Each structure stands twice: as structure tokens, then as C-alpha cells.
Amino acid sequence: MGKQAAIVVWIVLGILACAVNAAGGAVKVGQKAPEIKAQKWLNTTGEVSLAKLRGKIVVVEFWATWCPPCRESIPHLNTLYNRYKDKGVVVLGLSDERLTQVAPFVEQMNKGKKNMEYIVGAGSNDVANYGVTGIPHAFLVDPEGKVVWTGHPMAGLDKAIEKALKDTPPKVEKKEAAPPTVDKKEATPPTVEKKEPAPAK
């Protein structure tokens, strides 16, 4: 191979490498969050997608059962779930592991003190779509589907959620008030005064 041909090959390889890096780069703040998928969703019914959650603030977190830092983050995520679930915030945990690995783990977590009540997706390949190279890693998605924060779930996610609630308030479904109930009082049965018969004269 001549010198010029070798230079051409290196240039082509360099272009291809840049293209791959650009395609697989991590999703950044300000970009639209890629759609999410999972083979099975736990702690919920039906399918879950960002399209269906449009109008909500969504935490998309990538984790695995074998990852110690991920397990340490679960109680914190569960606290955030309970704190903001009625304010239009949804917490999602995505793992690329099989359902046979994830389901027993979630079940065990829900039996102990460190509950894992938020939605969990098993068999998800979205870690590649988001360009995540280390876990746990979370993305905060605003009601319009745009990433507004990204990082470790225990390093600033709380403040990011509070800021998002102020800057881009989510749509919160108003719960209809239960109709007032009136205690039905049983009617008091009539009473008749018992009079003693007058003494005979």
C-alpha cells in the first residue's frame, strides 16, 4: 500500500470513528430524550413510554441488580418517588438485565425496609440510546420531553426536580372530591306513654 493510500485509509477511519462517537454520545441537557422501551414493566400496569408521560416530569434512571452504587441509590429514588408522585413527577428505573433477574430483586426490595415502589423496566436496551457508560445514571425529562438535568441520582437530582417543578410545572390530574355523605339516622320508633289504670271507686 502506498503512502497516499494509507493516508486516505486513516482519514476514512477517522471520519467513521467521529461518526460513531457522535451517534453514541451521551444525551445532553437541552436535547430531546430518546424514547424508552422495556421487555417488561414492573410496579405498574400496561406499557410505559415518554410519549404517554408527556406533560409529566420524568426521572429516567439506569441501574442493575449487580451494581452496589445502584442498590445504594434505590432508597433515595424511592423517597423521591413518594415525595413527588402526587406532584406530576414519575420515577423510572431501567435495567438491561432479564426479567428473571430483575423481578425477584424488586420483589425482595419491596419486602424489606428499602422499598422499590417506582416503575422498573427489565430487558431495556436504552442505555445505549442514552450513551450511558457508567451506572447508576439518571436523566431528568421535562413535560415537553427535553432533558433538563443528568448525573448521579444521589448528586443533585433533588434540587433538579425542585427547579423543574418551578420552571416547567407538570400537568397534575385533579382528583375529584368525593360527594358529601350524610349519615342516615334511623327514625326513632314512636313511644306511647304507659298509663296505669285508675283505681276502682
Domain extents in the chain: 26-43+56-147
User: For residue 179, what pLDDT is reported?
Assistant: 56
Dihedral through CA 16, CA 18, CA 23, CA 25, nearest 10? 150
Q: Output the nine-digit C-alpha cell for 87.
A: 406532584
User: For residue 105, what pLDDT is reported?
Assistant: 96
Q: Which CATH architecture has domain 26-43+56-147?
A: 3-Layer(aba) Sandwich (3.40)
User: For residue 112, what pLDDT is reported?
Assistant: 72
Q: What is the DSSP letter of 135?
A: S
Name the residue among 139, 55, 57, 53 with its Cα closest to residue 94. Answer: 139
Beta partners for residue 120, in sequence order: 42, 93
Q: Cα 116–120–125 angle (5° rounding)?
A: 145
Name the residue among 43, 27, 46 with its Cα closest to residue 35. Answer: 27
Which residues, 6+ apart, have CB-to-CB distance to 165 below 8 Å?
Answer: 57, 84, 87, 88, 89
Give mean pLDDT in consecutive 10-residue pieces for the chain, a chain of 201 residues.
Answer: 46 34 69 97 95 97 97 96 97 98 96 88 96 96 97 97 96 62 52 54 52
Residue with C-alpha cell 298509663? Answer: 195
Distance, in Å, from the CA atom of 48 to the CA atom of 40, rounded to the nearest integer, reads 9
Residue with C-alpha cell 415537553? Answer: 144
Q: Name the pTM for this structure.
A: 0.74
User: For residue 16, what pLDDT is reported?
Assistant: 35
Sheet holding 137-141, edge to edge: 40-42, 119-122, 89-94, 57-62, 137-141, 147-151
User: For residue 113, what pLDDT is reported?
Assistant: 74
User: For residue 189, what pLDDT is reported?
Assistant: 52
User: For residue 201, what pLDDT is reported?
Assistant: 52
User: For residue 18, what pLDDT is reported?
Assistant: 32
